Amino acid sequence: MTRVPLFQVDAFAPGPFTGNPAAVVVLAQWPDDATLLAVAAENNLSETAFIVPDGDAWALRWFTPATEVDLCGHATLAAGFVVGERLRPGTDRVAFDSRAGRLTVWREGEAWCLDMPADPPAPVTPPDGLAPALGVPAHAIEAVRAGRFLMVALPDAGAVRALAPDFAALAALDTAAVLPTAPGDGVDFVSRCFAPGLGIPEDPVTGSAHAVLVPYWAARLGRTRLEAHQLSARGGRLACRLDGDRVVAGGPATLYLEGMITLEAQP
């Protein structure tokens, strides 16, 4: 048996019990994928980030309780925070190599910022069943765009806040997640993120969703710096900007828990 460090960090959170909690597990080498998935399921958070040192950078993978994913923003921010605050104290910039390529997390004052590939969503025909799955009349949907996730524009923040979707119906749609969004009250735009097919009925604050949302809103509003608010029960605010073919999303992070977990030694 071997013991490895585990941290739980609230990302995009000015204090505990806000933002999006992510687990960060620090490994010396990769165990088999079944072990990674079992740990993520045991943690039972929307995402667990696993990191392995690789020279000056870190290899990074993300798992929900149900599957591995190609990009997770809040868990990457959490991993950068753990490296900078606990593993290599004083480090202001952390590089990760992942399925999404090279990702960088850095410190800006009291906040941590994440750089990720932009995913501009393209217009698509609304899939059958989308409106009833969200619980809105079809005429309330102003636009539907698709990138990695399906983005659905609604008329105002109140419409996004009031959504009570049918998660089974959303899971049956051909998309990893559905992102309802609208102009914000006091911010540039608001959103929510429903991903029941990934084992996450509603994600509290979703960094990777903003890789889709920021290009859309930057074009719609005619500016590249945007303030966003994700309207989950925990809630979270993100300072975002579109930088060419990259999106930067930033906010504070708070350490909630640190300890050790026990894994079976690999042969």
Per-residue pLDDT tens digits for 174-225: 999 999 999 998 999 999 999 999 889 999 999 999 999 999 999 999 999 9
pTM, to two decimals? 0.92
Q: State both tokens at 112.
A: 């941590």
- In the set 47, 85, 108, 202, the catalytic residue is 47
> Do 151 and 83 sit in the same domain of this protein?
no
Does 106 score more than 70 pLDDT? Answer: yes
> Do 83 and 164 sit in the same domain of this protein?
no
Q: Which domain holds residue 201?
A: 122-244
Using CA atoms, how far apart are residues 265 and 259, in angstroms rounded to an integer? 18
> Do 74 and 11 sit in the same domain of this protein?
yes
Distances (CA, A) of 254 to 82, 84, 205, 232: 10, 13, 14, 18
Using CA atoms, how far apart are residues 25 and 63, in angstroms rounded to an integer? 11
Q: 42 an active-site residue?
A: no
Per-residue pLDDT tens digits for 23-35: 999 999 999 999 9
- Domain with residue 61: its CATH number is 3.10.310.10
Distances (CA, A) of 92 to 82, 85, 88, 112, 128: 11, 9, 9, 9, 47
Mean pLDDT of the chain, nearest integer:
96
Number of domains forming the structure of the chain: 2
Q: Give the pLDDT score at 266.
A: 57
Per-residue pLDDT tens digits for 200-213: 999 999 999 999 99
> Do 239 and 127 sit in the same domain of this protein?
yes
Q: Give mean pLDDT, residues 62-75.
A: 95
> Do 166 and 144 sit in the same domain of this protein?
yes
